[in-house]
Chains A and B, each alone.
Chain A
Amino acid sequence: MAVVSLSDAEKFFIVHGIEDEGLRTDGRSCEDYRCIELETGLLSNTYGSSRLRLGNTELLAGIKIELGTPNPKNPDEGWVEFHIDCSPNASLAFQGRGGQELSNGICCHLSRIYNNKSALDLKQLCIVPHHHCWVVHVDVIVLEYGGNLFDSISIAVKGALHNCGVPNVNVSAGDEGEFEINLPDDPADVNKLKISSCPVLVTISKVGNRHIVDPTLEEEFCSHASLIVGVTSKGLITGMKKVGSGSLCPESISEMLQSAKSVGKRINSAFTKLMKTEKGIAKSVEKTGYL
């Protein structure tokens, strides 16, 4: 959803810069990401949270956990629900119901990727099979829109899930077959979720006869076809979706998938390194958020 308007000369400049020189307007090469800033654990009233800045795109993800009844098809599993809110802060086009279509698309894609066995072990969300389970609500607000929403949301979600702690409850059998669930007194008594095989989405856009990673708003406007690929830390592809009105030939798709794999592996390893560093300095640094 491009909210920028470009003249033909500007489009020509962007497309030919990428085709002929392999250089983009901000000096990046075709497989470079913009600088990513990620901070977790900044909202005290949530079970897990993260803030992400990718170029001009700014997101805030928060996790609230509620009790629910498991789906009869999977009685020993909980589930994860995603909600994306494109805030009017981000762009005038998101006022009223303007951002609905975009957020629905991203929500569906994330749900598809996360509600299967390969991404997240949903059995860790079960409390009492057939009766009680945890429902993890992941809410993402888009505060500023500078292009490449899919990738940034997937990294923010992974960060929030990494920070998320599920309360360690003790279940006791009450009367009439009901169960009593007691929350622990200590708020730090939590179980962390295992997110090592959660995928990160990588958007590859076709511009002219080359493909680029992490498009800005202007580059998104110049590209007519993109592939959104889910890549895990081991380089496995977990899901793929093509967006845009243009068409792709099969050779392009295999080239783009190869790029997606290598870029995805790099992003995942950078993420893991950052989470380790953050854990190391967590106690000595105050979370500032937007201050």
Chain B
Amino acid sequence: MSLELLSDEGYRMDGRKANELRRVRCNLGVFQQADGSAYIEQGNTKILAAVYGPHEPSQNFRSQVPHDNCLINCEYSQAAFSGVERKNRPRGDRKGQEMAAHIKQTFEASIQTTLYPRSQIDICLQVLQSDGSDYAVSVNAATLALIDAGITMKDYIIACSASLAKGVSLVDINHVEESVGCAELSAAVLPKLGRIVYTELNGKLHEDEMGQILEAVEAGCQDVFHVLEQHVREHVKDTAANFAVS
């Protein structure tokens, strides 16, 4: 019995329509000790991001720091209780290292590295609960944390995922939809400039369908951007109001 990703009435397994995102909730400035931090929930995927920097390069990276740019270091760890089965090794496994490398590459495209020469910026991601679209939610969390840290960026980086079922693109897929095995596209975009920074496709897809699924991902990213930008503006307003009072 195969799982039906999309019912005949156009509803997915969790009751969403094909182009609907899961509920996005976020919070900036969750921790005091990190330079910037953020928490984001997209449905049941919950990720915490912390940013340290720009600071003097640590022992391990001293030799790799370029003289005219800053070095971006990314650490990705998954809590043992984040998935359905218990995960013994929180970080250092292949998937985690690959994810960290992809996120590092994504943010090198947006952070104005020439403004922080000979320094290091650390982006630390902690997955508390994983229910699909881990890359996309991690990128969104890291963007918010970088904004909270006050690091100069060209634009927000917003990521989203999409899949294809019965010729219809499904936006923001969850764990069950991921494990069915259809093609899954994740992309990170610069929303105001409309450019794609990173994209990854897993599974088989016909080249005619590529355009459709890319459009769906871009639309999904714009929707997430609206939510996150709204929240950032409110947060800045509240913070500014607190300064004024004291």
Q: A residues bordering B, Cβ < 8 Å?
A: 43-46, 49, 56, 58, 60, 62-64, 66, 83, 85, 87-92, 95-97, 137, 139, 141, 143-146, 289-291
Extra contacts, 5 of them, besides A44-B129, A290-B48 (Cβ < 8 A), are A56-B33, A60-B128, A62-B81, A88-B91, A89-B50
Count A-B pairs with CB separation below 8 Å: 97
Within 8 A of A (CB), among B7-55: 25-27, 30-34, 37, 39, 41, 44, 46, 48-50, 52, 55
- B172 at interface (Cβ–Cβ under 8 A)? no
Q: How far is the CA of A96 from the CA of B48 in the complex (A)?
A: 18
In the complex, are the beta carbons of B80 and A137 less than 8 A apart? yes
List the A residue with the shortest CB-CB distance to B38: A290
In the complex, are the beta carbons of A144 and B34 less than 8 A apart? yes
Whole-angstrom distance between the Cβ of A104 and the nearest chain B Cβ: 14
The contact string, 1 if C-beta is below 8 Å from chain A, for chain B 88-131, is: 00111000000000000000000000000000001011101100
In the complex, are the beta carbons of B52 and A83 less than 8 A apart? no
Q: How far is the CA of A230 from the CA of B219 in the complex (A)?
A: 55
In the complex, are the beta carbons of B27 and A290 less than 8 A apart? yes
List the A residue with the shortest CB-CB distance to B84: A45
| Residues of chain A with a CB closer than 8 A to B128's CB | 43, 60, 141
A88-B75, A146-B33 known; A46-B124 Cβ under 8 A: no
In the complex, are the beta carbons of B126 and A95 less than 8 A apart? no
Whole-angstrom distance between the Cβ of B215 and the nearest chain A Cβ: 32
| Residues of chain A with a CB closer than 8 A to B125's CB | 89
Whole-angstrom distance between the Cβ of B84 and the nearest chain A Cβ: 7
Say whether chain A's binding surface is mostly helix, strand, loop, or mixed.
Answer: loop
List the A residue with the shortest CB-CB distance to B86: A64
Q: B residues bordering A, Cβ < 8 Å?
A: 25-27, 30-34, 37, 39, 41, 44, 46, 48-50, 52, 55, 58, 60, 73, 75, 77, 79-84, 86, 90-92, 122, 124-126, 128-129
In the complex, are the beta carbons of B81 and A143 less than 8 A apart? no
List the A residue with the shortest CB-CB distance to B88: A83
| Residues of chain A with a CB closer than 8 A to B84's CB | 45
The 4 closest A-B pairs by CB, nearest first: A62-B81, A139-B80, A290-B39, A89-B50
A43-B129, A144-B33 known; A85-B90 Cβ under 8 A: yes
In the complex, are the beta carbons of B75 and A58 less than 8 A apart? no
| Residues of chain B with a CB closer than 8 A to A87's CB | 77, 90, 124, 126
Q: What are 21 contact pairs spanning A and B, CB under 8 A? A: A43-B129, A56-B32, A60-B79, A60-B128, A62-B81, A64-B81, A85-B77, A85-B80, A89-B48, A89-B49, A89-B50, A89-B124, A92-B58, A95-B122, A95-B124, A96-B60, A97-B92, A137-B80, A145-B33, A146-B33, A290-B30
| Residues of chain A with a CB closer than 8 A to B60's CB | 95-96
Q: How far is the CA of A291 from the CA of B235 in the complex (A)?
A: 13
Q: How far is the CA of A46 from the CA of B48 in the complex (A)?
A: 18
In the complex, are the beta carbons of A291 and B129 less than 8 A apart? no
Q: How far is the CA of A289 from the CA of B79 in the complex (A)?
A: 16
In the complex, are the beta carbons of B75 and A95 less than 8 A apart? yes
Whole-angstrom distance between the Cβ of B82 and the nearest chain A Cβ: 8
Q: How far is the CA of A145 from the CA of B52 in the complex (A)?
A: 14
| Residues of chain A with a CB closer than 8 A to B58's CB | 92, 95
In the complex, are the beta carbons of A45 and B81 less than 8 A apart? yes
> Which of B33, B50, B58 neighbours the largest number of chain A CB atoms within 10 Å of its CB?
B33
| Residues of chain B with a CB closer than 8 A to A88's CB | 50, 75, 77, 91, 122, 124, 126
List the B residue with the shortest CB-CB distance to A92: B52
Q: How far is the CA of A228 from the CA of B40 in the complex (A)?
A: 36
Q: How far is the CA of A89 from the CA of B58 in the complex (A)?
A: 15
In the complex, are the beta carbons of B126 and A141 less than 8 A apart? yes
Q: How far is the CA of A58 from the CA of B30 in the complex (A)?
A: 10
In the complex, are the beta carbons of A89 and B44 less than 8 A apart? no
Q: Which of B31, B37, B91, B122 meets A92, CB within 8 Å?
A: B122
| Residues of chain A with a CB closer than 8 A to B48's CB | 89, 143, 290
| Residues of chain B with a CB closer than 8 A to A89's CB | 31, 34, 37, 48-50, 124-126
Q: How far is the CA of A135 from the CA of B112 in the complex (A)?
A: 49
Q: Which of A62, A95, A141, A291 meets B41, CB within 8 Å?
A: A291
Q: How far is the CA of A66 from the CA of B80 in the complex (A)?
A: 13
Whole-angstrom distance between the Cβ of B243 and the nearest chain A Cβ: 22
